[in-house]
Every structure is written in structure tokens, then in C-alpha cells.
């Protein structure tokens, strides 16, 4: 089988402008953007519905089997069938949920970032170098950092450390002394000593001063160690980022120095004849900057600081523009919090262009440029595979909905509304239905309505909602009340994962992640659904999905599910922050992890690493339980139950055996 490449699917190479939301009208939240049921469904319809080609950025598409595919090198002729990959994972005895990391996407992202800055420096005739720095905090997993260091080695890519443990990682992982390390965050004496020891060993370690008191401590320890430090200053710009991390920039941000503090430090270093040690100027506007104008404003301010510090005699060799390079999670190319309205190339052009112009105007040397782009490097390379366990929906069958003798007036009114419902009166009928619903609930509480009658009224309300929801689907601009009725159509799909462990940003900050079935894309998805995880927490669900018109919608279009059948969903772009921020809510631990690389064999890919997820005994130890001690306690209780005749010796033996075996189980549900 061959893959239907993006070119074949849309019959032309999609440009960025093709994905602007204004070019593809998107329905109201809850309204499925799909062709009417009598129109044949195609794989292209699925790709359009889930916006795969937009957020996928050339990595994700589908083949003619209706399976989702990934092309880690963006070569549509070399693709991995995600359904076949999932089947092979399970054949190997690896249970879902599974986090899949595509190593070659990391390589591709590094090449894309460096290629964009190469193009920009060539276009502007920029004489400084570009240096990429990976912030370890974005994804600290050893395998990820190792691969980034490996793929970044030809470019002398460096690492950023925001804590002492991260600095210890950076010192060990970077073998080339020319690969820089940037130290940010809070710094104690040991942090600074560790960094300066690296400087003594010949490393390029820039210690960024972010608070006034840090410089005094740095100078004190430098004197003790007889080492001239490489100092950076983080300014606190008036410019701010946008969205959920707006507080990272601006005059009231957690880190950074005011203009007065910067000037005081320059004078202090000048008095000590150490201005040559001040080599780096840094700012950070925040993570996931969605609007390129925010960068432009910040870059203009940063460039002015560079000019002023150079004028004061500072030997600034590096300008570190920090992070913020965003990811288009929803594919809308907009200023939504989960999107960006610019490309990596445009970002590189602006960074290089602003610094080039101010340096040329003031006849100053072009500084080397550092970026701390972590999200843009890692987000695309990881996805979570989850299996649907079961589904539930509201009972909307028509059985027993006829009016009978003894039915209360409210039920008779519902039956009449059900019979008379049409396009013209749908809005008014929904208002009346909600009033009747409230009346029935009060009657039940007061004891004037029995359970059977309440059930009948409830099912009538569900049926009215179903009809109104269907009518709303055919409307271009359904009123808000009719969208409310559509919520009754939403199914709950219970999936084998923990929101808190695997996509904590969805729970914490309403981050949108692309979610797509990895198979059956040649079938029409007939159900509206939310995803429920297996934690015992009402927050353990996903009910915000990508919608270009309104930013998000409350339900996702999914296929029907039958118990015993396999239905697997992919949650994409999870490579940044999610693993390290995930927690052990309900003691659901780290998932199984598979690293996949492209290969030249017939299959075209191979497992390069398989990492087992946490077992029950692992998570118990994490919260200070000793599994062996627990076994001893259960053994004691079992012996007591046997002695008291509540269970036989054989039953007790089997129970203890099962208890011990369960300690070595995966923390997620076993479905095979």
C-alpha cells in the first residue's frame, strides 16, 4: 500500500495560508464539521475534520488503508503506519497506553531550526553565528536529551540549565567544549561553584545574573576560585509575551533586571576591571508566544540594550533571545493560545533582521545569537497511544414514550412538544423543555412523582434534545440554546490513560492537543464524544478539542465502538513538558515508552528503545510504601482468615499469590 501524501490528498502542496481559519468555515462547538450522511466519506474528509495536515506540519498524514501515518523526515514516501506500529507494539507484549517517541523527528526539528537561521543570516549578510540551546526543563528524559545532543553535535548545539541537577546533566552530556551551557534560574553557592569549575575546565558556561544579589555572590566565589566568569545579564523588558505565560515578561516578571539594576551592575563590573567578563545579554518573554508582534516588540527593546551596553564598554558577544518559539497545536496559524501566527523561518528572519539593522546603524559588531527553543524542538516527536475501554451515552430510545393514563401534566406537555418540534419552534420548545425538566425534578424531590415517571420524563427530554441537536447540525448559525441541546448527544469514551500523568497541561491550563483515531479514517465518525480517563477524579477527562472558529469545541467526532473491538486514539504533540509535569494521581504511573527510528529494512522502521512503564510496586515505593512489608501484612491477615475458617488454605494461598503478582503489574488496565 502507498501512503496518500498531503499532495495527493489535497491535490496541491498546502501553503501556510491554506490553513487560515477564514478559508475553512468551522462549525459551532459540538457541531460536527462533516459532510451530510448521504455524501460519501473519504480519507481527505477525516484529515480535514481533524486538521491533520495543518498541525502535522508535514510529519503526519494518512494512507489508503485509512490509517494515520507519520513521516519523521517529512518524506511522504517514507512513512510509518501508526496502526501497524500499534499492532506490533502489542504483539511484543507492550500494553497500552504507550508513549511513542520518534527519534528522527527530533533530528528534523533541529535541522529545521538551524536551517531557518542559516537562511536568515545569509539573506541579511549577518556576521554573527547562530547557536541553538536546548532548555533541559522542557523534557529532561535521558533518552530525549541524549538524542538532542547527538543530533545537535554537528551544530555545536548547547544546553540550558535552570537548576543544579540540570547543570549536572549538561556538564556530563556535552562532550564538546565549544558547545555552550547557559545557567538560568535561582543559584546558590554550590550551583555557582559547579558552573565555575566547568569554566576552569575550558567549558563555555554563561552564568546569567537574574537578580541583584546574584552578582555579588558570583564575584565572591569567582575570587575564591581564581576564575574569571562568563557573565550574562537577564533584562526585564517592558514588552510582554501573550497567553498563559504572559507573566514571564514585563516589569513585574519573576526574573530579570530593571534598567537601573543593569546600569549598577555594569558600573560594578567596570570598577573591578571585569567588563570583559560580561559577554551575554538575555531576555525571555515567556513560553508559547502565539503572536509574532510580541517578539518584534521585545527584540526592538533587546537590541537597544545591546547598543547601550556596547557603548558602555561591555564585551557582549552573545544575545540570547530566550524561548517562546511556539507550536501550532491546533493548526490554525492564529493568535490562539494553542497556535502561532508565524513560521520558524519568519521568527528567525525577525531575530536576525532586528539585530542586523541596529548593528549596521550604530556600526557595531554583529553578536552571536542564542535561542532557547525547547517546545518547538520536542513537541512533535512524541505521541500517546490510548485504547478505548468502553462508551456510555444518555438513554434516548423511544420505547414507552406514549402518553398513558396517570401521566402528570408535565409529561403530557413533553409529549406534545416532541410531536410538534420543527425548525421554526425549536428554540422556544427547548426553553419550555428546560422549564419542565426543572419542574419534574422538584416534583420528584417532594414525592409527587415516582421513579418510573421521572425516568419517562427524562427519556422524553433526551429525545427532544436529540431531535433539536440534529436540527442544529443543519443550521449555519445555530442559536446558543440549540448548541446546549447538542450536549445531550455527546458520548463518553472511557480510555486507558490518566490525564494528570500524560497530558497534565490540558487539566491545568486548558492546553489543546490534537487527538485523532489512528485508524478507520476512511469511515465517517458518527459520534460526538468526550474522553474520560480511568482516574477516580471528575477532572480526569478531556472535553476541549480543536476548533478553528471558536478556539475549541466540547466534543470530538469519533467512530462507534463495540466492546471487544480495538479502537485506538493518538494524542499528539506531547513531547514538551508533559512527561515531567505528569503526576501520580490515583497512583497511575509513567506509561510504557517506545523509541522508534526509521530504517532501511523492508518494514522501514525499528524499535531502538523500549522502556517499561512503572509497575504497581514502583509507584508504591514512590509514596514510601515497602512492597515486601505490605506482603507481610497481607500474609498475616490471610493466615488469620484461614485460622478463623473464613477461607480455606488453598483460597488463602491463591489470594496471597495474586496479591504478590499484582505488585508486578502495569498500573494501567490490562485489556488482553
- 188-236 pLDDT, tens digit each: 999 999 999 999 999 999 999 999 999 999 999 999 999 999 999 999 9
Pairwise CA distance, residues 626 & 621, whole Å: 6
For the chain, how many helices (H) and strands (E)?
23, 24
User: Of 351, 373, 395, which one is at a domain's C-terminal end?
Assistant: 373
Note whether 144 and 238 are same-domain residues: yes
- 377-389 pLDDT, tens digit each: 999 999 999 999 9
Please count the structural domains in the chain: 4
Does residue 536 sit within a domain?
no
Residue 528: CB partners within 8 Å, gap ≥ 6?
30, 32, 486, 489, 490, 491, 555, 556, 557, 558
Note whether 34 and 161 are same-domain residues: no
Q: Is the pLDDT assigned to residue 508 strictly greater than 80? A: yes
Q: Is 260 exposed, middle or buried (0-12, 13-18, 19+ CB in 10 A)?
A: exposed
Average pLDDT over residues 511-540: 96
Residue 30: CB partners within 8 Å, gap ≥ 6?
483, 486, 487, 489, 490, 528, 553, 554, 555
The grid coordinates listed for 300 are 526592538
Whether 249 contacts 243, CB under 8 Å: no
Encode 339-380 in three state secondary structure.
CCCCCHHHHHHHHHHHHHHHHHHHCCCCCEEEECCCHHHHHH
Cβ burial 634-646 (10 Å sphere, 16+ → b, else e): eeeebeeebeeee
Whether 576 contacts 520, CB under 8 Å: no
Note whether 304 and 425 are same-domain residues: no
**Which pLDDT value is given to residue 16?**
32
Distance set, CA 297 to CA 281, 351, 546 (Å): 17, 11, 29
Pairwise CA distance, residues 168 & 89, whole Å: 34
Pairwise CA distance, residues 128 & 369, whole Å: 7
Note whether 144 and 276 are same-domain residues: yes
Q: Is the pLDDT assigned to residue 400 strictly greater than 70? A: no
Pairwise CA distance, residues 437 & 434, whole Å: 5
Confidence of residue 416 (pLDDT cuts 50, 70, 90): very high
For residue 130, list its beta bridge partners: 369
Note whether 138 and 38 are same-domain residues: no
In the chain, % helix, strand, coil (3-state, to 5) comes to 45, 15, 40
For residue 594, list its beta bridge partners: 100, 610
Note whether 73 and 149 are same-domain residues: no
- 432-449 pLDDT, tens digit each: 999 999 999 999 999 999
Note whether 327 and 208 are same-domain residues: yes
Confidence of residue 412 (pLDDT cuts 50, 70, 90): very high
- 230-242 pLDDT, tens digit each: 999 999 988 765 6
* DSSP class of 313: T
**Which pLDDT value is given to residue 248?**
58
CA 545 to chain centre: 12
* Ordered DSSP codes for 630-653: HHHHHHHHHHHHHHTTSS-HHHHH
| CATH number of the domain that residue 309 is part of | 3.20.20.10
Pairwise CA distance, residues 368 & 352, whole Å: 10
Pairwise CA distance, residues 125 & 356, whole Å: 8
Note whether 238 and 305 are same-domain residues: yes
Neighbours of 672 (CB within 10 A): 6
Pairwise CA distance, residues 295 & 347, whole Å: 8
**Which pLDDT value is given to residue 397?**
65
Does residue 574 sit within a domain?
no
Note whether 12 and 146 are same-domain residues: no
Which sign does the torsion angle of CA 470, 473, 474, 478 carry? positive
Pairwise CA distance, residues 573 & 381, whole Å: 7
**Which pLDDT value is given to residue 249?**
61
**Which pLDDT value is given to residue 550?**
80
Look-up: residue for cell 506540519? 57
Confidence of residue 564 (pLDDT cuts 50, 70, 90): confident
Instruction: Quote the mean pLDDT of the chain.
Output: 91
**Which pLDDT value is given to residue 113?**
98
| CATH number of the domain that residue 468 is part of | 1.20.58.930
Does residue 208 sit within a domain?
yes
Domain range enclosing 42: 3-83
Q: Is 627 exposed, middle or buried (0-12, 13-18, 19+ CB in 10 A)?
A: middle
Higher pLDDT, 99 or 604: 99
Look-up: residue for cell 547543570? 167
For residue 596, list its beta bridge partners: 102, 607
Which of 277-281, 298-302, 549-553 is predicted with the least confidence, judged by mean pLDDT?
A: 549-553
- 603-630 pLDDT, tens digit each: 889 999 999 999 999 999 999 999 999 9
**Which pLDDT value is given to residue 296?**
94
Neighbours of 160 (CB within 10 A): 27
* Ordered DSSP codes for 75-127: -TTS-EEHHHHHHHHHHTTPPSSEEEEEHHHHHHHHHHHHHHHHHHHHHHT--
Does residue 576 sit within a domain?
no
Note whether 213 and 357 are same-domain residues: yes
Confidence of residue 471 (pLDDT cuts 50, 70, 90): confident
The CA radius of gyration of the chain, in Å to the nearest whole number, is 30
Does residue 414 sit within a domain?
yes
Phi, psi of 72, rounded to the nearest 5 degrees: -60, -25
This prediction's pTM = 0.90
Note whether 346 and 431 are same-domain residues: no
Does residue 294 sit within a domain?
yes
User: Of 56, 83, 110, which one is at a domain's C-terminal end?
Assistant: 83
Does residue 533 sit within a domain?
no
How many residues in total does the chain contain? 672
The grid coordinates listed for 317 are 558577544
Whether 549 contacts 23, CB under 8 Å: no
**Which pLDDT value is given to residue 602?**
80
Residue 657: CB partners within 8 Å, gap ≥ 6?
none
Q: Is the pLDDT assigned to residue 325 strictly greater than 80? A: yes
The grid coordinates listed for 145 are 536529551
Cβ burial 661-670 (10 Å sphere, 16+ → b, else e): eeeeebbbbe
**Which pLDDT value is given to residue 17?**
33
User: Of 428, 461, 477, which one is at a domain's C-terminal end?
Assistant: 477
Does residue 26 sit within a domain?
yes
Q: Is the pLDDT assigned to residue 244 strictly greater than 50? A: yes
Q: Which of 410, 513, 430 is closest to 470 using CA atoms?
A: 430
Pairwise CA distance, residues 589 & 78, whole Å: 34
Look-up: residue for cell 506490533? 88
The grid coordinates listed for 618 are 514502583
- 154-199 pLDDT, tens digit each: 999 999 999 999 999 999 999 999 999 999 999 999 999 999 999 9
Q: Which of 513, 649, 502 is closest to 584 using CA atoms?
A: 502
Confidence of residue 559 (pLDDT cuts 50, 70, 90): very high
Average pLDDT over residues 320-339: 96
**Which pLDDT value is given to residue 51?**
98
Note whether 245 and 188 are same-domain residues: yes
Pairwise CA distance, residues 142 & 645, whole Å: 53
Higher pLDDT, 633 or 672: 633
Q: Which of 308, 310, 302 is closest to 354 using CA atoms?
A: 302
Neighbours of 200 (CB within 10 A): 12
Q: Is the pLDDT assigned to residue 97 strictly greater than 90? A: yes
Collapse the DSSP code of 629 into the 3-class scheme (helix H, G, I; strand E, B; otherwise coil) and give the result: helix
Neighbours of 85 (CB within 10 A): 24
Q: Report the share of the chain in percent with pLDDT over 70.
A: 91
Whether 492 contacts 538, CB under 8 Å: no
Amino acid at each position: 500500500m502507498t501512503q496518500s501524501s498531503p499532495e495527493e490528498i489535497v491535490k496541491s502542496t498546502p501553503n501556510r495560508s491554506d490553513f487560515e481559519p477564514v478559508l475553512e468555515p468551522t462549525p459551532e462547538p459540538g457541531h460536527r464539521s462533516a459532510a451530510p450522511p448521504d455524501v460519501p466519506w473519504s480519507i481527505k474528509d477525516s484529515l480535514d475534520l481533524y486538521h491533520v495536515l495543518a498541525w502535522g506540519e508535514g510529519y503526519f498524514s494518512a494512507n489508503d488503508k485509512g490509517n494515520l501515518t507519520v513521516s519523521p523526515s517529512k518524506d511522504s514516501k517514507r512513512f510509518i503506519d501508526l496502526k501497524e506500529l500499534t499492532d506490533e507494539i502489542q504483539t511484543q507484549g507492550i500494553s497500552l497506553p504507550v508513549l511513542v517517541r520518534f527519534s528522527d523527528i527530533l533530528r528534523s526539528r533541529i535541522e529545521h531550526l538551524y536551517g531557518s537561521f542559516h537562511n536568515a543570516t545569509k539573506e541579511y549578510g549577518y556576521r554573527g553565528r547562530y547557536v541553538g540551546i536546548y532548555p533541559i526543563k522542557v523534557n529532561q528524559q535521558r533518552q530525549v536529551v541524549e538524542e538532542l545532543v547527538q543530533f545537535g553535535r554537528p551544530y555545536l548545539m548547547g544546553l540550558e540549565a535552570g537548576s543544579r541537577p540540570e547543570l549536572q546533566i549538561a556538564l556530563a552530556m556535552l562532550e564538546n567544549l565549544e558547545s555552550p551551557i547557559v545557567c538560568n534560574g535561582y543559584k546558590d553557592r554550590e550551583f555557582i561553584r559547579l558552573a565555575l569549575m566547568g569554566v576552569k575546565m575550558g567549558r563555555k558556561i554563561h552564568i546569567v545574573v537574574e537578580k541583584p544579589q546574584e552578582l555579588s555572590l558570583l564575584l565572591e566565589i569567582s575570587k575564591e576560585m581564581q576564575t574569571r566568569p562568563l557573565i550574562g545579564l537577564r533584562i526585564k523588558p517592558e514588552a510582554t509575551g501573550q497567553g498563559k505565560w504572559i507573566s514571564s515578561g514585563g516589569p513585574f516578571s519573576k526574573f530579570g533586571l530593571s534598567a537601573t539594576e543593569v546600569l549598577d551592575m555594569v558600573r560594578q563590573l567596570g570598577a573591578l576591571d571585569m567588563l570583559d567578563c560580561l559577554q551575554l545579554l538575555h531576555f525571555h518573554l515567556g513560553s508559547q508566544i502565539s503572536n509574532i508582534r510580541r517578539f518584534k516588540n521585545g527584540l526592538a527593546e533587546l537590541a537597544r540594550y545591546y547598543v547601550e551596553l556596547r557603548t558602555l564598554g561591555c564585551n557582549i558577544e552573545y544575545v540570547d533571545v530566550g524561548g517562546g518559539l511556539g507550536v501550532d497545536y491546533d493548526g490554525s496559524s492564529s493568535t490562539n493560545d494553542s497556535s502561532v501566527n508565524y513560521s520558524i523561518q519568519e521568527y528567525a528572519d525577525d531575530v536576525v533582521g532586528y539585530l542586523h539593522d541596529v548593528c549596521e546603524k550604530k556600526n557595531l559588531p554583529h553578536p552571536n545569537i542564542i535561542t532557547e527553543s525547547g517546545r518547538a524542538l520536542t513537541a512533535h516527536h512524541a505521541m500517546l497511544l490510548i485504547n478505548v475501554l468502553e462508551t456510555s451515552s444518555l438513554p434516548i430510545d423511544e420505547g414507552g414514550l406514549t402518553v398513558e393514563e396517570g401521566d402528570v401534566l408535565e409529561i403530557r406537555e413533553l409529549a406534545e412538544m416532541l410531536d410538534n418540534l420543527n425548525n421554526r419552534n425549536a428554540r422556544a420548545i427547548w426553553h419550555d423543555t428546560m422549564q419542565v425538566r426543572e419542574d419534574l425534578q422538584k416534583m420528584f424531590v417532594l414525592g409527587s412523582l415516582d421513579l418510573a415517571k421521572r425516568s419517562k420524563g427524562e427519556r422524553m427530554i433526551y429525545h427532544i434534545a436529540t431531535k433539536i441537536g440534529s436540527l442544529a447540525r443543519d443550521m449555519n448559525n445555530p442559536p446558543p440554546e440549540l448548541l446546549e441541546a447538542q450536549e445531550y448527544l455527546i458520548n463518553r469514551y472511557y480510555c486507558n490513560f490518566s490525564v494528570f500523568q500524560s497530558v497534565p497541561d490540558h487539566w491545568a491550563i486548558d492546553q489543546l492537543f490534537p487527538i485523532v483515531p489512528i485508524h478507520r479514517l476512511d469511515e465517517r465518525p458518527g459520534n460526538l464524544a468526550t474522553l474520560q480517563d480511568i482516574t477516580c477524579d471528575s477532572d480526569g477527562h478531556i472535553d476541549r478539542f480543536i476548533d478553528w472558529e471558536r478556539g475549541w469545541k466540547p466534543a470530538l467526532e469519533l467512530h462507534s465502538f463495540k466492546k471487544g473491538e480495538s479502537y485506538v486514539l493518538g494524542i499528539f504533540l506531547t513531547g514538551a513538558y508533559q512527561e515531567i509535569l505528569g503526576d501520580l494521581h490515583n497512583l497511575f504511573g509513567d506509561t510504557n515508552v517506545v523509541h522508534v527510528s526509521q530504517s532501511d529494512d523492508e518494514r522501514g522502521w525499528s524499535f531502538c528503545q523500549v522502556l517499561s512503564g512503572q509497575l504497581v510496586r514502583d509507584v508504591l515505593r514512590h509514596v514510601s510504601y515497602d512492597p515486601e512489608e505490605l506482603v507481610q501484612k497481607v500474609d498475616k491477615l490471610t493466615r488469620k482468615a484461614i485460622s478463623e475458617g473464613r477461607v480455606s488454605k488453598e483460597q488463602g494461598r491463591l489470594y496471597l499469590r495474586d496479591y504478590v503478582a499484582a505488585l508486578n503489574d502495569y498500573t494501567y488496565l490490562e485489556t488482553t
